[in-house]
Amino acid sequence: MKPLVPFVRNVEWEPHDELVEQLRAAMPEIDVVVHADIPSERLGEATVAVVDGPSAEQLSSLSNLRFVQSTWAGVEAILPAVPEGVAVARMVDPQLALTMAEAVLAWTLYLHRDMPRYARQQTAREWIEQPPVRASSRRVSVLGLGALGTVAATTLRDQRFDVAGWSRSPKLVDGVECHHGTDGFTAVLERSDIVINLLPHTAATVGLLGTDAFASMRPGSSIVNFGRGPTIDDDALLAALDSGHLDHAVLDVFDVEPLPESHRFWSHPSVTVLPHISGPTSTDTAAIIAADNIRRFLADGTMPSDAMVDRERGY
């Protein structure tokens, strides 16, 4: 009999048929079954599961679970559902990093080339040429130099932007001015024309970009949030935009998603709202990576060292 690997997704969500079929194609020697379709007498067979937003009830039914492979890069919504003692691997996918870097570059260029200002001029029927700025003179900083942030920073570097990065611990990235720790965080904000947030959601990052952080940023600078919504204090950001201290914010992630219709971000002239599209999972490549990790675990218990989640850190 083939080893059983449940695909576990919150019962309130629509089935992810495409991903399930791609997982089955990537590991035909393994029986990938949607959790709801597994007979109760077989639930105890599973030692590993693929999860895509699971509930605690679903995972607790897998009494012998030892290893969880997530299809997401972020795990803050998954960890509370995973029983203590069960190892969790986030999705580390080079294609996801490239997709995110593409979005970072696109919206950096949007700000760099003054697209928000030209949009306002069009509304006002104003024909005004803004003075150009060379990419080499535009200081862009990436908050978070993990698997996604490093590729984003080097992509910006290769487009000749003046790039810096910040991380919790020291990092070295060729051609990128790297900072870390509290002092480094302030230094990065003070030097930046555009700040790109790619930090994960942890206890340490909630509200990190608030009144003090925005006051540290250069007058007329802009921010892009492709990390997690709770990293930004919404009221502090709106105050910084209303005062003119910050010029524009491109926001793809929010405290509550979908963004409520009543939220001021929708109508604010200095905010671009995106529907969480900057770094979608590429299901075809994610299925292959998940299959490789699961095969190794089932063969000898090996887990992907570059993807294992530290519960204390939250990522």
pLDDT for the residue numbered 11: 63
Torsion of CA 9, 11, 17, 18, to 10 degrees: -40
276 included as an active-site residue? yes
What is the residue whose two structure tokens read 């890069």? 73
Q: What is the rounded average pLDDT of the residues 126-136?
A: 97
35 included as an active-site residue? no
Residue 147, helix vs strand vs coil: helix
Q: How confident is the model at residue 14 (pLDDT cuts 50, 70, 90)?
A: low
Catalytic residue of the set 113, 263, 276, 295: 276
Catalytic residue of the set 201, 228, 268, 296: 228
State the chain's mean pLDDT as an integer.
Answer: 96
Question: What pTM does this model have?
Answer: 0.93
Q: Which two tokens stand for residue 294?
A: 């699961």
Q: What is the rounded average pLDDT of the residues 190-214?
A: 97
- Which string of b and e fits 193-231 if b means at least 16 CB within 10 Å? bbbbbbbbbbeebeebbbeebbebbbeebbbbbbbbbbb
CA atoms within 13 A on the CB side of 301: 2
For residue 111, give Cα distances in angstroms to 135, 146, 165, 196, 224.
11, 24, 18, 11, 9
Edge-to-edge strands, sheet with 4-8: 31-34, 4-8, 48-51, 67-70, 87-89
The span from the CA of 300 to the CA of 47, in Å, is 12
The span from the CA of 153 to the CA of 101, in Å, is 8
Q: Which two tokens stand for residue 39?
A: 């007979």
Q: What is the per-residue pLDDT across 156-179, written as a single tens digit (0 to 9) for each? A: 999 999 999 999 999 999 999 999
Q: What is the per-residue pLDDT across 45-79, written as a single tens digit (0 to 9) for each? A: 999 999 998 999 999 999 999 999 999 999 998 99
Q: How confident is the model at residue 261 (pLDDT cuts 50, 70, 90)?
A: very high
Q: How confident is the model at residue 16 (pLDDT cuts 50, 70, 90)?
A: low
pLDDT for the residue numbered 155: 98
